[in-house]
Amino acid sequence: MTALSVNINKVATLRNARGGNMPNLLQVAKDLQEFGAQGITIHPRPDQRHIRYEDARALPEVVSTEYNIEGNPMPDFLDLVNTVKPTQVTLVPDAEDALTSNAGWDTITHGDYLKSIIDQLRGAGIRTSIFVDPDVRMIEGAKEVGTDRIELYTETYAKNYPESPEKAITPFVKAAEKAVELNLGINAGHDLSLENIHYFSKNIPNLLEVSIGHALICESLYLGFENVIPMYLQRLKF
């Protein structure tokens, strides 16, 4: 079975919008695992607009499953993960002002750089994953730099799925088959949802883990409203 790691960035966004500690990020992480999540993912940005570095340092108190920290391996980020030592670090080439991740690594052009980062993280006992587009050449490059896993960037799959699931998934199947051939672990994430996750997981060989945040949080809001409204109405009765 593919493991589900829940990205809790959006929980931190909601908390930060009002200040204070509601929702309580640590309690949410703890509850998600009790509900069955097999990992917690965070993606701190340089401006700390959602997850803060202090959150990253505090989460090991409650994460009893897998702890995955994503981010661009700039000096502050590397200092953070070398201190926290999560289960996995997922390297993502996001720009400082990016709203969300929007491209995978060019593992060939940036091969030497990535190899130096991965060697450092391996020395600290941290598993590494590289965020990549479904391009066989990039998978081959990922193998060359020594990463343990790749994370397939699935935005194009999610975008094209409604029109043609088979066409949408074809490049991802080819990329995954190459990763299996090269003995690379396979993760996936970005815009996966209740609508499209089953077809993806059914067709991608050796899919070890998916990291899902935005869609899962939005779906949880919708699926939860039906329960919460009656609870308020009950409390408003005389």
Query: In total, how many domains does the chain have?
Result: 1
Residues 34 and 67: beta-carbon distance below 8 Å: no
Q: The CATH number of the domain where 30 resides is what?
A: 3.20.20.70
Q: What pLDDT does 97 receive?
A: 55
**Contacts of 70-77 spanning 24+ positions with Cβ under 8 A:** 70/7, 70/41, 70/42, 70/43, 70/101, 70/131, 70/211, 71/43, 71/44, 71/45, 72/46, 72/96, 73/117, 74/46, 76/46, 77/44
Kindly state the greatest CA–CA separation across the chain.
69
Q: What is the pLDDT along the chain (238 residues), one digit of tens a residue?
A: 899 999 999 999 999 999 999 999 999 999 999 999 999 999 999 888 999 999 999 999 999 999 999 999 999 999 999 999 999 999 999 766 554 556 799 999 999 999 999 999 999 999 999 999 999 999 999 999 999 999 999 999 999 999 999 999 999 999 999 999 999 999 999 999 999 999 999 999 999 999 999 999 999 999 998 888 888 889 888 6
Q: What pLDDT does 46 receive?
A: 86
Residue 137, domain extent: 3-235
- Report which secondary-structure segment, H or E, holds 91: strand 88-91
Q: What pLDDT does 100 receive?
A: 54
Tell me the catalytic residues. 43, 70, 190
pTM: 0.94
